[in-house]
Copies of this chain bind each other. A is one copy, B any other.
Amino acid sequence: VQDVEFDADAVAKGGFPHFMLKEIFEQPEVLRNTMRGRLLTAEGNAKLAGLDTNIKELRNINRIIITACGTSYYAGMVGEYMIEDLAGVPVEVEYASEFRYRNPIIKPGTLVIAISQSGETADTLAALREAQQKGATALAICNGVGSTIARTSDGGVYLHAGPEIGVASTKAFTSQVTVLAMIALLLGRQRRLSFETGADIVKDLLELPDLVTETLKLSDSIAEIAKTLCKANNFLYLGRHFCYPVAMEGALKLKEISYIHAEGYPAAEMKHGPIALIDENMPVVVIAPKDSLFDKIISNIREIKARGGKVIAVTTEDCHPLDEIADHIITVPKTRPMLMPILACIPLQLLAYHIAVLRGNDVDQPRNLAKSVTVE
A59 within 8 A of B: no
A373 within 8 A of B: yes
Interface contact B85-A271, CB-CB below 8 Å: no
Interface contact A266-B98, CB-CB below 8 Å: yes
Closest residue of B by beta carbon distance from A81: B102
Interface contact A273-B261, CB-CB below 8 Å: no
A residues 247-295 in Cβ contact with B at 8 Å: 252, 255-257, 259-261, 263, 266-269, 271-278, 282, 292-293
**A322 CB to nearest chain B CB (Å):** 18
Interface contact B276-A241, CB-CB below 8 Å: no
State A275–B299 Cα separation when bound (angstroms). 34
Interface contact A105-B92, CB-CB below 8 Å: no
CB-defined contacts of A63 to chain B, threshold 8 Å: 63, 90
A133 within 8 A of B: no
A123 within 8 A of B: yes
Interface contact A70-B272, CB-CB below 8 Å: yes
CB-defined contacts of A261 to chain B, threshold 8 Å: 234, 261, 263, 277, 282
Q: Which of A155-163, A174-182, A325-333, A363-371 contacts B (4 or more CB under 8 A)?
A: A363-371
Instruction: Count A interface residues, CB 8 Å.
Output: 59
Given A81-B102, A97-B266, A259-B276, the answer on whether A373 and B271 have CB atoms closer than 8 Å is: yes
A95 touches which of B89, B269, B277 (Cβ 8 Å)? B269
A residues 179-237 in Cβ contact with B at 8 Å: 233-234
Interface contact B240-A98, CB-CB below 8 Å: yes
In the complex, 21 of the A-B residue pairs with CB atoms within 8 angstroms, ordered by the A residue number, are A63-B63, A70-B273, A73-B269, A73-B272, A89-B105, A90-B105, A95-B266, A97-B266, A97-B267, A98-B240, A98-B241, A98-B244, A102-B241, A234-B234, A257-B276, A261-B263, A271-B370, A271-B373, A275-B368, A276-B369, A296-B376
